[in-house]
Amino acid sequence: MVPRLDAVIVGSADNAARQYAERQGEECRALGLDFVLHEIHAGAGYDDIAGRVLLLNENEDVSGIMVHLPLPEGVDTYKIQRLIHPKKDIEGVNPANIGNIVYGRSSLVPCTALAAMRMIESTDIDLRGKVAVVVGAGNVVGKPLAVLLMRAEATVISCNVHTPDMPGLTRKADILIAAAGVPELVKADMVKPGAIIVDVGVNRVRDDDGATRTVGDVAFDEVSQVAGWISPVPGGVGPMTVAALLSNAIDASARNRSADV
Amino acid sequence: MVPRLDAVIVGSADNAARQYAERQGEECRALGLDFVLHEIHAGAGYDDIAGRVLLLNENEDVSGIMVHLPLPEGVDTYKIQRLIHPKKDIEGVNPANIGNIVYGRSSLVPCTALAAMRMIESTDIDLRGKVAVVVGAGNVVGKPLAVLLMRAEATVISCNVHTPDMPGLTRKADILIAAAGVPELVKADMVKPGAIIVDVGVNRVRDDDGATRTVGDVAFDEVSQVAGWISPVPGGVGPMTVAALLSNAIDASARNRSADV
């Protein structure tokens, strides 16, 4: 059976979401996955969207489901996400899949956090006995990633906007993940020489001449002089997250065919 | 409706579990909660235990379910625990309830981690901008507690047996939680003066004269000279966990009566 990814988008979603959904379709087709985009009319409410998710849960042809954000005003994103069957939740947004990280059970992991982990693993570092610092403690990346790093038996330090003496902590990091959403927050003097740096930030900034560009949470030019390994922005975690989503879709397809999930 | 806690115990469970279940019954009755103990015959397998859990999920009179450990050899504890309906999972062992910690949705929190948080909160400390160090990264306490502390916007450091220079990290702690299962691991020189110390450890040790006693993961006599606040062992987190379980049972009862869970 060919893995099939079903994406739900609501008519009122912004253009960025729509572009993302279209790119997703192209990438699925390039990999030989089926892709079905469900467009729900603008003005749809909770019942319309929830009903569609339940229908896709029931459909045995569907391996993976993702719901594009933003949802219309007044629709609670969490209530929709928790309806996605954990076996088909390729974005890893259902609380059961987040909890499974703690248990270390094979399951679908939140895909941005998974992308960051895959990048760290690609360096062949053994996380045991290493210090991993996560700057930013958001629900989508910071918290799940901290737990994934605990699972890998790293010593994990989670920082947030209230952290006192953050540079004193980030300089301890053998692995430093920036997921704060603050342009170029991490400077060279906050980094231990040779550290692995993963930049999850995607920030649009405007230069003095009025032009806009995309930068990460890491001051790439100066930090790349100090780091042992560094992911760029744009590029880096962004495309890797798309790959993690598709990898989850294939996993889900394989697993939905086995009884023991 | 009176909250009702249903506990499942398998005949082969050890005496400690049986004593715990009986004490639990007394505590429920003292608080005016109903308590029903389901004894499943020794030699029961997965199907027997799983079936009982599903039956209790369906029973509207049951507010909370807990399954006593250990289960018979060959029965996967995780597979039983994840069957407990999240609304009735008063121990907080279903992955969905662990994932809900990340989302910060009101739900049933793993009860030992909840007990430790309640003790920290009892000191009236504002966790924002404070450093909380969790020694031990187990699934039952260490990892869920680290996430609860992140939710409270603390800077969180998770240490394990592989952590290099642990004293250098524990001395940064405004709040230090010991959950490593190592007798008297935390000494006075690892503690910042005035810190809040929560000791989750329960270890049986044998003295030179052959007598056994229960100690925590903290060297209480010396650490209590330095700490600002410290929980004892025995006492402390142990009885607080029973209280957290009963508090969860009452929460579950209230919530099961409302449609929006």
Residue A103 touches partner B, C-beta closer than 8 Å: yes
Is residue A123 included in any domain, yes or no?
yes
Amino acid at B242: V
Categorize the per-residue pLDDT at B183 as very low, low, confident or very high, splitting at 50, 70 and 90. very high
Choose one of B103, B137, B172: the last residue of a domain: B103
pTM: 0.93
Q: Which residue has the tokens 């259902």?
A: A94
Residue B170 touches partner A, C-beta closer than 8 Å: no
Answer yes or no: do B55 and B132 share one domain. no
pLDDT reported for residue B260: 47
pLDDT reported for residue B29: 93
Answer yes or no: do B168 and B148 share one domain. yes
pLDDT reported for residue B12: 64
Give B-chain residues touching A164 at CB under 8 angstroms: 129, 131, 155
Closest CA to A16 of A238, A232, A206, A250: A238
Q: Cα separation of B199 and B126, whole Å?
A: 20
Categorize the per-residue pLDDT at B16 as very low, low, confident or very high, splitting at 50, 70 and 90. confident
Question: H-helix or E-strand containing A9?
Answer: strand A4-10
Residues in chain A: 261
Answer yes or no: do B84 and B116 share one domain. no
Q: What is the mean pLDDT of chain B?
A: 93
Answer yes or no: do A38 and A124 share one domain. no
Does A249 score more than 90 pLDDT? yes
**Closest approach of chain B CAs to the CA of A191, in angstroms?**
18
Chain A residues 194-213 with a CB less than 8 Å from chain B: none
Across the interface, of A96, A137, A157, the residue whose CB is closest to B99 is A96
Question: H-helix or E-strand containing A97?
Answer: helix A95-103
In this prediction the ipTM stands at 0.92
Categorize the per-residue pLDDT at B86 as very low, low, confident or very high, splitting at 50, 70 and 90. very high
Strand partners, B215: B203
Answer yes or no: do B42 and B129 share one domain. no
Q: Cα separation of A4 and B109, whole Å?
A: 35
What is the span of the domain harbouring residue B142?
111-237
Answer yes or no: do B63 and B139 share one domain. no
Is residue B51 included in any domain, yes or no?
yes
Answer yes or no: do A118 and A216 share one domain. yes
Does A259 score more than 60 pLDDT? no
Average pLDDT over every residue of B46-59: 97
Is residue B162 included in any domain, yes or no?
yes
Residue A98 touches partner B, C-beta closer than 8 Å: yes
pLDDT reported for residue B261: 43
Answer yes or no: do B227 and B123 share one domain. yes
The tokens for B121 are 């909160």
pLDDT digits (tens, 9 = 90+) for A153-188: 999 999 999 999 999 999 999 999 999 999 999 999
Does A11 score more than 60 pLDDT? yes
CATH of the domain at A220: 3.40.50.720
Categorize the per-residue pLDDT at A127 as very low, low, confident or very high, splitting at 50, 70 and 90. very high
Residue B99 touches partner A, C-beta closer than 8 Å: yes
Average pLDDT over every residue of A44-65: 96
Answer yes or no: do B120 and B31 share one domain. no
CATH of the domain at B48: 3.40.50.10860
Choose one of B52, B82, B103: the last residue of a domain: B103
For residue B181, count CB atoms less than 10 angstroms from its CB and return exposed for 0-12, middle for 13-18, buried for 19 or more. Answer: middle
Least trusted range by pLDDT, from A96-110, A144-158, B31-45, B246-260: B246-260
| Per-residue CA distances from A180 to A92, A138, A146, A202 (Å) | 20, 8, 13, 10
Domain count, chain A: 2
Answer yes or no: do A94 and A172 share one domain. no
Mutate to test the interface with B, among A76, A158, A165 (most CBs of B within 10 A): A158
pLDDT digits (tens, 9 = 90+) for A18-51: 888 888 899 999 999 999 999 999 889 999 999 9
Q: Per-residue DSSP letters for chain B?
A: ---EEEEEEETTS-HHHHHHHHHHHHHHHHHT-EEEEEEEPTT--HHHHHHHHHHHHH-TT--EEEE-SPPPTT--HHHHHTTS-TTTBTT--SHHHHHHHHHT-S-PPPHHHHHHHHHHHTTT---TT-EEEEE---TTTHHHHHHHHHHTT-EEEEE-TT-TTHHHHHTT-SEEEE-S--TT-B-GGGS-TT-EEEE---EEEE-TTS-EEEE-SB-HHHHTTT-SEE--SSSTHHHHHHHHHHHHHHHHHHHHTSS--
Q: Which residue has the tokens 């009982």?
A: B52
Answer yes or no: do B137 and B189 share one domain. yes
Does B254 score more than 50 pLDDT? yes
Choose one of B80, B103, B126: the last residue of a domain: B103
Q: A–B: how many Cβ contacts below 8 A?
A: 125
Is residue B57 included in any domain, yes or no?
yes
CB contact under 8 A, B103 and A94: no
Is residue A261 included in any domain, yes or no?
no
Across the interface, of B107, B129, B150, the residue whose CB is closest to A146 is B150
* Strand, coil or helix: A112: helix
Answer yes or no: do B13 and B97 share one domain. yes
* Strand, coil or helix: A114: helix
pLDDT digits (tens, 9 = 90+) for B106-118: 689 999 999 999 9
Does B24 score more than 50 pLDDT? yes
Is residue B250 included in any domain, yes or no?
no
Residue A135 touches partner B, C-beta closer than 8 Å: no
Is residue B242 included in any domain, yes or no?
no
How many Cα neighbours within 13 Å face the side chain of A19? Answer: 3
Return the DSSP state at A190: G
Is residue A153 included in any domain, yes or no?
yes
| Per-residue CA distances from A199 to A112, A139, A217, A230, B156 (Å) | 11, 17, 6, 8, 20
Categorize the per-residue pLDDT at B189 as very low, low, confident or very high, splitting at 50, 70 and 90. very high
